[in-house]
């Protein structure tokens, strides 16, 4: 069996013609897991958070180190991941037929308790991220990795029957008749029986805006600003939700460069929620522990699995 090289994986990540289906994500992820199994890059366990590990590539790739991977979520064994992926796709099919996750929550209670939705999404996206970390310059891949996460969320929503596309709209500027400013939105989605495309420059009252980022670091301000500006300039409440993959990064502490630190700004998040506006939902694939233990954050933040199974169907009506 021929094992895909890391160079081949890099070429796949930047291939603009790929990633039109969840199957494309599966193929790349399986290829990456196969590469890890065969090449056995150095594994480094974080001394500060032992559930996070790093891979370090060999000399051919300048001993580059990957982002921290949460092994409570990352499915490294190829056969285990493949089975989880197919269960995930089957669940999405059931969700599409049901049109809501409430009834399925009872039928699939055992499946949902396993947290496999978050684990599959995390493994798919972090495989791409790890490949991106092998490039000579982070700037070569950082934007592409983010684009592929947006696209992954879009494909998942489309798989459950939600019309969903990125869009650039034209926002009217008050007191300046005829003047508008273009504004890019990661995703716009709705369950209404309409065709949602990226070509229209308007935002309908029944549409929901989704901001999708791999991390909130340096981006949390923009998410709250999106809702504030859209509501202010359109003259009505615009529902805005945010989907993040994680909020961790590698950090130096003491004698180790392999510690893990949080990039989530609790005070900024709560401050924006009070001073600007509350978002209509904030969801993480890999939530930080404080998002679960802190009651103030727990009221605002939930897991991506909850978004997909429950909250999405209340929003996109």
- Give the model's pLDDT for residue 194: 59
Structure letter (DSSP) for residue 65? B
- Give the model's pLDDT for residue 211: 97
Low-confidence ranges of the chain (pLDDT < 70): 1-2, 192-200, 316-317
- Give the model's pLDDT for residue 253: 83
Structure letter (DSSP) for residue 310? I
End-to-end CA distance of the chain: 48
- Give the model's pLDDT for residue 285: 98
Answer whether 297's CB lies under 8 Å from 314's CB. no
Full-model pTM: 0.94
**What does the block give as tokens for 287?**
């939530």
Helix H segments across 108-180? 109-113, 116-132, 142-159
* Parts of the chain belonging to CATH 3.40.91.80: 159-315
- Give the model's pLDDT for residue 135: 94
The CATH number of domain 159-315 is 3.40.91.80: yes
């Amino acid at each position: 069996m021929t094992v895909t090289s890391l160079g081949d994986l890099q070429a796949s990540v930047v291939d603009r013609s790929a990633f039109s289906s969840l199957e494309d994500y599966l193929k790349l992820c399986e290829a990456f897991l196969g590469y890890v199994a065969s090449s056995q890059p150095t594994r480094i366990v974080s001394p500060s958070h032992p559930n996070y590990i790093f891979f370090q590539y060999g000399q051919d790739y300048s001993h580059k180190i990957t982002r921290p991977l949460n092994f409570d979520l990352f499915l490294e064994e190829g056969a285990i991941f493949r089975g989880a992926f197919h269960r995930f796709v089957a669940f999405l099919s059931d969700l599409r037929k049901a049109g809501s996750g409430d009834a399925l929550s009872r039928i699939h209670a055992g499946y949902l308790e396993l947290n496999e939705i978050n684990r599959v999404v995390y493994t798919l996206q972090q495989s791409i991220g790890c490949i991106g970390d092998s490039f000579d310059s982070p700037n070569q891949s950082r934007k592409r990795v983010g684009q592929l996460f947006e696209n992954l969320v879009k494909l998942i929503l489309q798989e459950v029957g939600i019309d969903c596309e990125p869009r650039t709209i034209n926002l009217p500027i008050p007191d300046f008749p005829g003047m508008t400013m273009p504004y890019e939105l990661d995703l716009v989605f709705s369950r209404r029986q309409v065709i949602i495309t990226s070509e229209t420059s308007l935002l309908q009252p029944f549409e929901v805006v989704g901001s999708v980022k791999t991390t909130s670091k340096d981006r949390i301000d923009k998410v709250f600003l999106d809702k504030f500006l859209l509501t202010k300039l359109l003259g009505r409440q615009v529902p805005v939700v945010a989907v993040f993959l994680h909020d961790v990064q590698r950090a130096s502490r003491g004698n180790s460069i392999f510690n893990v630190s949080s990039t989530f700004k609790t005070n900024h998040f709560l401050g924006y929620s009070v001073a600007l506006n509350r978002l209509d939902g904030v969801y993480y694939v890999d939530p930080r522990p404080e998002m679960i233990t802190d009651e103030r954050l727990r009221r605002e933040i939930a897991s991506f699995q909850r978004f997909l199974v429950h909250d999405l169907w209340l929003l996109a009506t």
